[in-house]
Amino acid sequence: MILVTIALAAVGIGLLGLYAGLTARRRAAQAVEECIELVRRRLETSADVTDGRAIRDVAIVHYDALREDAGGLSFSLALLNAAGDGVVLTSINGRTETRTYAKIVHSGRSLQLLSPEEDQVVRAARLGQGPQIRLDDGRDIGVNGRSSTST
């Protein structure tokens, strides 16, 4: 009886390991695809004779930040140049007040902690997926490019 229990536990642990491996492979494949797209877009920019400091990548996402029936008026807007430098503007709109934040982005990263929505809008802008994106696009995006399930 003890051997059967140990065998079942081993099978369960093996299946859990298999699931973790497949999840890691899926995330790695997504990261490779994003890197390829960034390099492709960077090469396109290098071939152009346009000003590299000009705003080129724009994305905006609307959402209901306060989980109230405010009509999804909150938004995050990324305005970036070809090098990924720029700003993320976020406006959190509630029924009685509005807060607006601006965060500097350098090479696609912010020195300040980005919210998941801000991080997603920066990544979408860098990948040329703007100008308007949706939060429910199936990507597992956490804070500052890290998966929401990692620590």
- Pair 102, 121: CB distance under 8 Å: no
Token pair, residue 57, equals: 């990548």
pTM attached to this predicted model = 0.59
CB distance 81 to 54 below 8 Å? yes
Confidence of residue 97 (pLDDT cuts 50, 70, 90): confident
Contact 20, 44 (CB under 8 A): no
Quick: pLDDT tens for 40-64: 777 666 655 566 677 888 999 888 8
Cis omega (within 30 of 0) on the bond before 131? Answer: yes
